[in-house]
Amino acid sequence: MRKARIAVLVSGGGTNLQALIDAQKSGIIKSGEISLVVSNNADAYALERAKKADIKSLVISRKEYGDSFEDKITSTLEENEIDFIVLAGFMCILSEKFTSHFRDKIINVHPSLIPSFCGKGFYGLRVHEAALEYGVKVTGATVHFVNEIPDGGKIIMQKAVEILDGDTPEVLQRRVMEEAEWKILPLSVEKVSKEIIEG
Ligand code: GAR
């Protein structure tokens, strides 16, 4: 059976990329294969993770490509015959031109229960800072399709995580990753890969 060719777009540590690599090894992801990792940041540790797993990786930075940044990503994905794009800690907002070109073919993991603490300006640790500041007792993670509205596409999976007394943004970030992101991202990738190959 054909597998969906997956590109993972990253910017930083790449723990979600690692969860995908591990899920592919353990067979949780069986309908897709991670064929390419693209980072907008040459220093991203995610690139090391790709290298260790023998996955082709490359850097496409806004600094280098300026206005043709997205066009470069598009042509690279097409050259590599990518079926499905996973944003895993990719800290760039993509334009409508890009998201409509790959409609229903891009998913993202966000570290809150959308529609809370999401949209422009809510990324990484800032999301957890906002949740703690507000004083919510439950947060979590969401995997969703990507459209032109930041964090606004159709939800695929969500998982709730408890906030405990004394949590710092860093402690909460780690718990949300362990209990939610690293579980629902691989499950969502398998679900969407299967749908893609089954047409
Ligand atoms: C993750 O928590 C991810 O959900 C978040 O950044 C972190 C990246 O970690 N993404 C966003 O906030 C996107 N809006 P990682 O590089 O270790 O996977």
Taking the C-alpha atoms of residue 91 and residue 52, their distance in angstroms, rounded to an integer, is 23
Which residues lie closer than 8 Å to 37 by C-beta, 6 or more apart? 7, 8, 9, 10, 17, 46, 47, 50, 55, 56, 57, 58
Q: What is the pLDDT of residue 199?
A: 86
CA of 1 to the centre of ligand 1 (A): 32
Q: What is the pLDDT of residue 1?
A: 82
Type of residue at 81 = E
Residue-wise pLDDT for 163-190, tens only, equals 999 999 999 999 999 999 999 999 999 9
**Residue 144: beta bridge partners?**
108, 155
Looking at the chain, how many residues does it have?
199
110 has catalytic annotation: yes
d(CA 101, CA 170): 36
Q: Whose CA is nearest to atom 15 of ligand 1?
A: 14
Banded pLDDT at 62 (limits 50, 70, 90): very high
